[in-house]
Amino acid sequence: MKFMFRMAHRKGLDWRVYLLIGCVVILAALLTGASWSAAASSRERQNAADWQVHTLEVLLRTDDLKVATLSMVRGERGYLLTGDPAFLKPYERGRLETDLGLKGLALLTRDNPEQQARIRELESEMKDLHALLAEIIALEDAGAHDAAVARVRSGDGRIATDTILDDLRRIEQIEHALLADREREADAKAAANELYQYVLSAIGVLLLILAMWSTTLVRRALAAEAQAKQLLKRHASSDEMTGLSNRRAFLAALDRSVARSTDGRKELAFAIFDIDRFKAINDTHGHAAGDAVIAEVARRAVASFRSRDLVGRIGGEEFGVILPAASRGEAMSACARMRAAIEAEPVSVGSIRIFVTVSIGVSQLRKQEDTTSLMARADEALYLAKNGGRNLVRLAA
């Protein structure tokens, strides 16, 4: 630069020298602008990635709250049906987990007034459900079984549970919408930055090289982001241990199947099964062996059903099966086939051979029935199979 000024001073005000100086200054300014643009893109990508993680955390928390809520209800119903205090364990665990889950959810959404208001409503509804279940259990403890059953049949518990699950789904919808808005904003800003890079490419050979390099980096970053989104989507919908649909993805698929079949024109069956005496397997052979048993049961289950049927892992050792266009008889036959396949051969874990059985409950979708009722009836049939001696298939009433 000093050399060019000296040249201009010696030869007079040569406009070509000053033009060169101007080009150098403009090039430096454009390089600064390019650096700012790249940094902005990086910030936007980071913000988008942060929101994806935030949304996933909220969805995981709402899933945990759904599981805890249903666990409370299941424990209360199991205790009411059997009088076995062991069923109070999932009830108590569900109470604790709902309290912790609501606090965690409130913390995650503390910057969102709409979500905070909904969570406050959810806390109030959860308190009402806690009080209702505690009242039913207290009646049963006092020997007033008929009064406890009458309280259940009043439908207040189901209404409270459905309201809580609906609120959780609404929270998830809001988070999905927020994520979509931020992704659109990030995509728009990324597109604007990319356009700016293309404009820079029109200025000189040096600027063209710089623009090509920047564009390559942006495209690689976008490809990496797209790959990360796909990976995040797979992780969000798949169970890592078995490769099956996880609880959230499976329940979403079940909701869609019920919506398509609820008018009664298409048959739909649902089955829920879990591994018998799984705790004893873990206690005797260790959790690694228990994980191997879960994975092998999942493999045999998938092999036993049609390609159109969907098997998902909805709990620790608990699985669900969606059987579209299946009659009661077809669903029972398929589940019996799966039960026999699992029982037929022990699961080999190293030198250990573990004999495994499953208990299965099956329900057929009724006209205008919702997902919660369909699952609840299958769950009741599963308890009948358990109480009937295990390694059985039972059809819900």
| Per-residue confidence (pLDDT) for residue 373, from 0 to 100 | 96
| Per-residue confidence (pLDDT) for residue 265, from 0 to 100 | 80
> Hey, where are the domains in the chain?
46-237, 247-395
Residue carrying structure tokens 């039972």: 394
Over the stretch 89-131, which tens digit does the pLDDT of each residue have?
A: 888 888 888 888 888 888 888 888 888 888 888 888 889 888 8
**Contacts of 345-354 spanning 24+ positions with Cβ under 8 A:** 347/292, 347/293, 347/296, 347/297, 349/285, 349/288, 349/289, 349/292, 349/293, 352/285, 352/289, 354/281, 354/285, 354/289, 354/293
| Per-residue confidence (pLDDT) for residue 307, from 0 to 100 | 94
| Per-residue confidence (pLDDT) for residue 213, from 0 to 100 | 59
Q: Reduce the DSSP state of residue 333 to 3 states and report it.
A: helix
CB within 8 A of 197, min separation 6: which ones? Answer: 34, 37, 211, 214, 215, 218
Q: Tokens in use for 124? A: 């109030």
d(CA 388, CA 197) in angstroms, rounded, equals: 70
Residue carrying structure tokens 């005797």: 284
| Per-residue confidence (pLDDT) for residue 207, from 0 to 100 | 59
Residue ranges of the chain with per-residue pLDDT less than 70: 1-20, 23-24, 27, 30-31, 34, 37-38, 40-41, 48, 197, 200-201, 204, 207-208, 210-236
Over the stretch 314-368, which tens digit does the pLDDT of each residue have?
A: 999 999 999 999 999 999 999 999 999 999 999 999 999 999 999 999 999 998 8
CATH of region 247-395, choose from 3.40.50.720, 3.40.1180.10, 3.30.70.270, 3.40.50.150: 3.30.70.270
User: Which strand (E) or helix (H) includes residue 311?
Assistant: strand 310-313
Over the stretch 193-212, which tens digit does the pLDDT of each residue have?
A: 777 767 766 776 775 675 56
- Domain 46-237 CATH class label: mainly alpha
| Per-residue confidence (pLDDT) for residue 392, from 0 to 100 | 97
Count of CA atoms in the C-beta half-sphere (13 A) of 224:
11
Residue carrying structure tokens 């040249």: 7
d(CA 125, CA 321) in angstroms, rounded, equals: 30
| Per-residue confidence (pLDDT) for residue 380, from 0 to 100 | 97
